Amino acid sequence: MRLTTAVLALSCALATITGCTSSKSSPERHAYAFVAHRSDFVGGNFTVNRQENYRLNLPTFTAMYARGQQDKPLA
């Protein structure tokens, strides 16, 4: 019982720590999520290149993030 509790606690702690660390910045994560969720909204015979959309949207999300960082001290 004690071993199971210890393993469960360790697993939860590891999952929490792993979830807090990220290899991508916030703008990169948001650009990827936007492209992943919005790339298939067109129907028909139109195909979407998600990698190209990600590359094109990343500067927009980076600029918005930078503006937010500048506004943060003013709030």
Structural domains counted in the chain: 1
Q: Please check whether residue 29 lies inside any domain of the structure.
A: yes
Q: Please check whether residue 53 lies inside any domain of the structure.
A: yes
| List of E strands, the chain | none
Range of the domain at 73: 24-75
pLDDT for the residue numbered 23: 81
Q: Please check whether residue 31 lies inside any domain of the structure.
A: yes
Q: Please check whether residue 1 lies inside any domain of the structure.
A: no
Task: Identify which of 28, 14, 19 has the alpha carbon closest to the alpha carbon of residue 58.
Answer: 28
Q: Please check whether residue 9 lies inside any domain of the structure.
A: no
Query: In which region does residue 29 sit, left (phi positive, over 0), alpha (psi from -120 to 50) or beta (all else)?
Result: alpha
Q: Please check whether residue 35 lies inside any domain of the structure.
A: yes
Q: Please check whether residue 3 lies inside any domain of the structure.
A: no
Task: Identify which of 22, 20, 24, 23 has the alpha carbon closest to the alpha carbon of residue 65.
Answer: 24
Count of beta carbons in the 10 Å neighbourhood of residue 27: 19
Tens of pLDDT, residue by residue, the chain (75 residues)? 788 888 888 887 777 776 666 688 889 988 988 888 865 556 666 777 889 989 999 999 999 999 999 998 886
